[in-house]
A = this chain, B = another copy of it.
């Protein structure tokens, strides 16, 4: 859980997740949307992957990234506790 909050605590990484909603993208396509170096984006993608928020699949020389929202459920559940049963 720690690592998921950590992964979400960065505007670039959140923007990547939002982008991946519309379609799966290669690392390069993702990087093209930011004024940040490729290696930095690669590092962000690695963090998102560690948090299991994205899945990486190699296709030839490309690496396709896609959303994995199962871990989002955990965070949702944690947050919802604060919205339940109150006087």
Q: List chain A positions with a Cβ less than 8 A from chain B.
A: 2, 5-6, 8-9, 11, 14, 17-18, 21, 67, 69, 72-73, 75-76, 78-83
> B residues within 8 A CB of A78?
14
Contact A2 B11 (CB under 8 A): yes
User: A6 contacts which of B9, B72, B75, B80 (Cβ < 8 Å)?
Assistant: B9
Assembled-state Cα–Cα distance A67/B14 (Å) = 25
Can you give 6 A-B contacts (C-beta < 8 A)?
Answer: A5-B9, A5-B14, A6-B9, A14-B78, A67-B82, A75-B79
> B residues within 8 A CB of A67?
82
**Min CB distance, A47 to chain B, in Å?**
12
